[in-house]
Chain A
Amino acid sequence: MATPPVFSSGSVLTAAQMNSVGMWLVSKTTIGSAVATVTTGTVFSSDYDNYRVIIRGVKTSAVNANLLLNFGATVTGYYGSQYYDAYTGATTGANRRNNGANLYIGAAENTLGEDVHSFDIANPFLASSTSINGTYYGASYSGWFGGTQASSTSFTTFTIRPDAGTITGGTITVYGYRSQ
C-alpha cells in the first residue's frame, strides 16, 4: 500500500490517503502584458479555510512600485503594514494602512522580474474578517507584510495591482490548505 507522501508507479490510493494530502493547487494565473489590475477567477470556496498564494516574476512599468491587494470589490476597511529593507542598507521603513483601500504585499521588480511574494490568507470565504501574512523580495527590497480586511464579507476572488503604472508577466498561484 502506498504511504503518503511517497508513491510508486501503479499505486492505488485510498480515500483516506487522498484526504491526508495537505495542500492542493487551486489556480494558476499568468499575468498578461501592461495590465493595471489582475483579478483572479473564483479561487475561494468552502473547500478550504486557508490558502497560500505565490506571486512571482512580475515586472512593473514604474520604478519601486508596490503591489497592492484587494478582496472582491471591497475598497475600504483594510488594516495592515509592510516592512521594507534594501539590501544596500540605504533604505528601510514601513508603509501602513489604517482603514485603507487595500493591503500592501511588497515591492515588485521594474526590469528583472526577480520578485516573489508569498503569503497565507485566512478565512476569505467565511463570513468573518480575512487576514493575510507573508514575505517578499523585489526591487532590492526584502520585507514582510500583513493585515486584515475587517468585514464579515465572504470573498471568492482577489485583485492585485501596482500602486503606480502597470505590470507585465509573472504568475499568481493559489493553493488551498486542507484542514478537514
Chain B
Amino acid sequence: MSNPNIQIDDEIREMTDEEYAELLASGWTPEPTDE
C-alpha cells in the first residue's frame, strides 16, 4: 500500500516513510471520520 501524497508549493509526490510516520504521529488518520 502506498503512502499518501504530500504537496510542497506546486510539487506533489508520495510521502517518504519518515514523513508518513510523522504524519501518523501527529494524530492524522487515513480513514474518514464523522465527528
A residues apposed to B, CB below 8 Å: 29-41, 61-66, 75, 101-102, 161-166
Could you tell me if B7 and A38 are in contact, using CB atoms closer than 8 angstroms?
yes
Say whether B5 contacts A163, CB under 8 Å: no
Q: Is the CB–CB distance between B32 and A37 below 8 Å?
A: no
> B: which residues have CB within 8 A of A?
4-10, 12, 15, 22-23, 26-35
> 29 A-B residue contacts at CB 8 Å?
A32-B12, A33-B5, A35-B7, A35-B12, A36-B5, A36-B15, A36-B28, A37-B7, A37-B23, A39-B8, A39-B9, A40-B9, A41-B10, A61-B32, A62-B31, A63-B32, A63-B34, A64-B33, A66-B35, A75-B26, A101-B26, A101-B27, A161-B23, A161-B28, A164-B28, A164-B31, A164-B32, A164-B33, A166-B5
Knowing that A36-B28, A41-B9 are A-B contacts, what are 11 other residue pairs whose CB atoms are under 8 Å apart, sorted by A's residue number?
A32-B12, A33-B5, A35-B7, A36-B5, A36-B23, A38-B8, A41-B10, A61-B32, A62-B31, A64-B35, A165-B32
- CB contact between A163 and one of B12, B15, B33, B34 (< 8 Å): that residue: B33
With A32-B5, A39-B8, A64-B34 already in contact, the answer to whether A163 and B29 are too (CB < 8 A) is yes
Is the CB–CB distance between A165 and B23 below 8 Å? no
CA distance A38 to B29 in the complex (A): 16
Bound complex: CA A31 to CA B30 (Å): 18
Main secondary structure of the interface of A (DSSP, over half): loop
Contacting residues, chain A, for B12 (C-beta < 8 A): 32-33, 35
Q: Note all chain B residues with C-beta closer than 8 A to A63.
A: 32-34
Residues of chain A within 8 A (CB-CB) of B4 are 34-36, 166
